[in-house]
Chain A
Amino acid sequence: MSMLLEVSGVSVSFDGFKAINNLSFNIGSSELRAIIGPNGAGKTTFMDIVTGKTRPDEGRVIWGEKSVSLLKMSEAQIAQSGVGRKFQKPTVFEDQTVQENLLVSLKNPRGWLSVLTYRPTAEDLGRVDALAEEIGLNDQLTRLAGELSHGQKQWLEIGMLLAQEPRLLLVDEPAAGMTVTERQHTTDILVEAAKTRAVVVVEHDMEFVRRLNCKVTVLHEGSVLAEGSLDHVTANQDVIDVYLGR
Chain B
Amino acid sequence: MQRSFIARNPSVLIFLALLALFTLVVTVLSEGAGAGFISTSFIKTLGKTLCLCLIAVAMDLIWGFAGILSLGHFAFFGLGGYMIGMWLMYERTRLIVVESLSQTELPPTDAEVIDAIGTQIFGVVGSSDFPLIWAFADSLVLQLALVVLVPGVLALIFGWLAFRSRVTGVYLSILTQAMTLALALYLFQNDSGLRGNNGLSGLQNLPGVTASQDIVSLWFLWASAFALGAGYFLAAWVVSGKFGSVIRGIRDNEARVRFLGYSVEAYKLALFTLTACLAAIAGALYYPQAGIINPAEIAPIASIYLAVWVAIGGRGRLYGAVIGAAFVSLLSTWFTGGQAPDLPLGSYTVKWVDWWLVLLGVSFVLVTLFAPKGIGGLFDLIPTKKGAEE
Tier of interface size on chain A: 20 to 34
Asked whether, in the complex, the Cβ of A75 is within 8 Å of the Cβ of B2, the reply is: no
B208: CB under 8 A from chain A?
no
CB-CB contacts of A58-83 with B at 8 A, as 1s and 0s?
A: 00000000000000001111011000
CB-CB contacts of B231-246 with A at 8 A, as 1s and 0s?
A: 0000000100111011
Asked whether, in the complex, the Cβ of B267 is within 8 Å of the Cβ of A93, the reply is: no
The answer to whether residues A79 and B248 also contact, given A93-B253, A118-B241 and a CB cut-off of 8 A, is: no
A140: CB under 8 A from chain B?
no
A8: CB under 8 A from chain B?
no
Asked whether, in the complex, the Cβ of A96 is within 8 Å of the Cβ of B249, the reply is: yes
Interface SS of chain B: helix
One of B94-102, B217-225, B255-263 contacting the partner: B255-263
Q: What are 9 A-to-B residue pairs whose CB atoms are below 8 Å? A: A74-B263, A87-B255, A94-B252, A111-B263, A111-B266, A112-B267, A116-B238, A116-B243, A119-B2
The answer to whether residues A104 and B241 also contact, given A87-B255, A93-B253, A111-B266 and a CB cut-off of 8 A, is: no
- Residues of A with C-beta under 8 A to B75: none
Asked whether, in the complex, the Cβ of A112 is within 8 Å of the Cβ of B256, the reply is: no
CB-CB contacts of B319-332 with A at 8 A, as 1s and 0s?
A: 00000000000000
Asked whether, in the complex, the Cβ of B252 is within 8 Å of the Cβ of A115, the reply is: no
Asked whether, in the complex, the Cβ of A76 is within 8 Å of the Cβ of B256, the reply is: no
Asked whether, in the complex, the Cβ of B261 is within 8 Å of the Cβ of A93, the reply is: no
A-B contacts besides A85-B259, A91-B256, 15 pairs, CB < 8 Å: A51-B259, A74-B263, A76-B258, A76-B262, A77-B261, A79-B259, A87-B255, A87-B256, A92-B256, A96-B249, A111-B263, A115-B242, A115-B246, A116-B238, A118-B243
Q: Which residue of B lies closest to A120 (CB)?
A: B2
- Residues of A with C-beta under 8 A to B245: 93, 96, 100, 103-104
- Residues of B with C-beta under 8 A to A93: 245, 248-249, 252-253, 256
Q: Which residue of B lies closest to A81 (CB)?
A: B261
- Residues of B with C-beta under 8 A to A137: none
The answer to whether residues A122 and B249 also contact, given A74-B263, A75-B258, A115-B242 and a CB cut-off of 8 A, is: no
Max count, chain A CB within 10 A of own CB: residue among B1, B242, B245, B246: B242
Q: Which residue of A lies closest to B250 (CB)?
A: A93
- Residues of B with C-beta under 8 A to A80: 261
Q: How far is the CA of A160 from the CA of B248 in the complex (A)?
A: 16
Asked whether, in the complex, the Cβ of A104 is within 8 Å of the Cβ of B253, the reply is: no
Which one of A74, A94, A104, A119 lies within 8 Å of B260 (CB-CB)?
A104
Which one of A75, A95, A96, A122 lies within 8 Å of B259 (CB-CB)?
A75
- Residues of B with C-beta under 8 A to A115: 241-243, 246, 262
- Residues of B with C-beta under 8 A to A195: none
What are the 5 closest A-B residue pairs judged by CB atoms, nearest first?
A79-B261, A80-B261, A104-B245, A76-B263, A91-B256
- Residues of B with C-beta under 8 A to A104: 242, 245-246, 249, 260
Asked whether, in the complex, the Cβ of A110 is within 8 Å of the Cβ of B256, the reply is: no
- Residues of B with C-beta under 8 A to A160: 260
Q: How far is the CA of A74 from the CA of B164 in the complex (A)?
A: 12
CB-CB contacts of B63-75 with A at 8 A, as 1s and 0s?
A: 0000000000000
B270: CB under 8 A from chain A?
yes
Q: How far is the CA of A85 from the CA of B245 in the complex (A)?
A: 19
